[in-house]
Structure 1
Amino acid sequence: MKNLQVKDLNFSYDKEPVLKDLSISIPEGEITVFIGGNGCGKSTLLRTIARLLQPETGKVLLDGENISRLKTKEVAKKMSILPQGPTAPEGLTVEQLVKQGRYPHQSWLKQWSTEDENMVRQALAATNMEDWAHQAVDMLSGGQRQRAWIAMSLAQGTETLLLDEPTTYLDMAHQVEVLDLLYELNETEGRTIVMVLHDMNMACRYAHNLVAIKDQTVYAQGRPADIMTVDTVNHVFELNCHITSDPLHGTPMVIPFGKRGASLYFEVHESL
């Protein structure tokens, strides 16, 4: 099933095209990762899907309905977004942050409820943040902060999570920690996860579905094993590489090389 579809999307910044006639379908219950070079429009696409940006033409469909015609609270109950490098007010605790995820469910007639409290507790448990519930967000490590923000998104109770470069500025250990958490949420709860990643190997390892963006539109979309090829890397990233199999996961592993690496690569292959 497809709960998110993008059709003929066009978007520009100061009359400079960023997305052009772009169409994709996001498989429900899977992890989809947008990849591409800097400035290719990955984050713009994600923000447009989240309705943070208004396209010039084209549309985003959420469960078959044009997202631009839906009420904000209605969208927020189905889809949450974690932007790149979110910041919390100084002194705000993890629990207070996670509670903000329940705001779309509040109204004058429906105030804080037992259901809201349970959703917050479940989100803290799912992200292993219970022990830090009363800790200030700005006092946490990078990985813990990301888990706290993800917990807020989980408390929102949406079926779909959008994340813009959730591993940026994190060291390798914390990157794996965050991506493992998202993978587990997909596996155990069936949540649809859409995110932007820079690391091609991490994208191949965790994604069911890759969307490679080049020249303001989709260059290739599909399973990592099908589309992560030397040709794709060369055209999308303008990078020479060798692709082998990840020894642990069996997913494509990209080994990039520059001019020196290219000469060594061809020397080895000519000798075989």
Structure 2
Amino acid sequence: MSTLKANKLTLSYGGANIFEDLNLTIPEGKISVFIGSNGCGKSTLLRSMARLLKPQSGSVILNGADIARLSTKEVAKQLAILPQGPTAPEGLTVLQLVKQGRYPYQSWLQQWSKEDERCVQQALHATGMTELAERTVDSLSGGQRQRAWIAMTLAQDTDTILLDEPTTYLDLTHQIEVLDLLFELNQSERRTIVMVLHDINLACRYAHNIVAIRNQAVYAQGQPEHIINAELIEKVFHLKSHIIPDPIYGTPLCIPHGKGHRAGEAPLEAVAL
């Protein structure tokens, strides 16, 4: 049984429909990645599935219930979302930021508890941020800052985590660091993770399930090795490419066609060895 579904979802932005009657099922306990060209609606769809964007029609089903009928705190106890490029107030420490993840569990009757403290410390440990807990968020490197925000989402202790382009603005080392962290969380805790990623090769490496979006619809969905091919890349990204197995991981590796080889040199396949 899936924890998250879109049922005949119609979304609009600026008066124009982005999706119409969209049906989508997110596999439970897996990593799903939305891919598609710029402006295709990946982030809009992700935000709607977190109840940050009200649909024109249709519904998002979270653990069997219409998400629109749940209170904000009820949603936050079941689903966490990390938007693109989050910012923290100046001077806020990592520990203070991560504690914000326990907000859904606080009330006049329920103040800070041992369970809250356990979840915060566990989130810091899982993201490797324990030693940096007293550092201010604005003093961290890009990769450290992203890990701090992920720690905050983990402190919510939800089974489902949504992340909008979590590797944006990070160098390659920090991209791999963040994606490795999310992969390990999925493997060790079976959390359902849904991400928007721009890098098709990283999406193929880390995703169990890819959702390719084109023309206001899901063009294809499934395991990377089952759906990623040159035809899909051309249809979805308007790019000719060659798909080969990744020499290390065996996942699909997209090699774009272009004029990238140095002037006067033949492409690699034309070189006689």
**TM-score, normalised relative to structure 2:** 0.95
Aligned AA for 2:38?
Answer: N
> Partner of 2:99 in structure 1?
99
> Partner of 2:33 in structure 1?
33
Inter-partner Cα distance in structure 1 for 2:268 and 2:176: 33
Number of matched pairs: 268
After TM superposition, the structure 1 stretch with the greater mean CA deviation from structure 2, 147-156 or 251-260, is 251-260
Establish whether residue 130 from structure 1 lines up as the match of residue 130 from structure 2.
Answer: yes
Shift of 1:267: 8.0
Aligned AA for 2:14?
Answer: D
Shift of 1:191: 0.4
Structure 1: tracts of 5 or more residues without a match: none
Inter-partner Cα distance in structure 2 for 1:157 and 1:180: 19
> Partner of 1:159 in structure 2?
159
**TM-score, normalised relative to structure 1:** 0.95
Q: What is the CA deviation profile of residues 196-215 of structure 1, one whole-angstrom value per residue up to 9, with x for unaligned ones?
A: 00000000000000000001
Shift of 1:266: 12
Shift of 1:98: 0.2
Q: What is the CA deviation profile of residues 217-242 of structure 1, one whole-angstrom value per residue up to 9, with x for unaligned ones?
A: 10000000011111100000000000
Aligned AA for 1:212?
Answer: A
3-state SS of 2:3 partner: strand
Shift of 1:99: 0.2
**Identity rate, percent:** 64
Inter-partner Cα distance in structure 2 for 1:260 and 1:234: 18
Q: What is the CA deviation profile of residues 38-89 of structure 1, one whole-angstrom value per residue up to 9, with x for unaligned ones?
A: 0000000000000000000111001111100111111100000000000000
Q: What is the CA deviation profile of residues 141-196 of structure 1, one whole-angstrom value per residue up to 9, with x for unaligned ones?
A: 00000100000000001000000000000000000000000000000011000000
Moved over 2 A (4+): 258-261, 264-268
Establish whether residue 111 from structure 1 lines up as the match of residue 111 from structure 2.
Answer: yes
Shift of 1:265: 7.1
Structure 2: tracts of 5 or more residues without a match: none
Shift of 1:250: 0.5
> Partner of 1:22 in structure 2?
22
1:67/1:170 CA distance change after superposition, 3 Å: same
1:114/1:266 CA distance change after superposition, 3 Å: closer
Any residues of structure 2 matched to 1:247-262 within 5 Å, and which?
247-258=247-258
After TM superposition, the structure 1 stretch with the greater mean CA deviation from structure 2, 193-202 or 13-22, is 13-22
Any residues of structure 2 matched to 1:170-209 within 5 Å, and which?
170-209=170-209
Shift of 1:259: 6.1
3-state SS of 2:19 partner: strand
Shift of 1:258: 2.4
Inter-partner Cα distance in structure 1 for 2:55 and 2:258: 37
3-state SS of 2:195 partner: strand
Inter-partner Cα distance in structure 2 for 1:160 and 1:64: 14
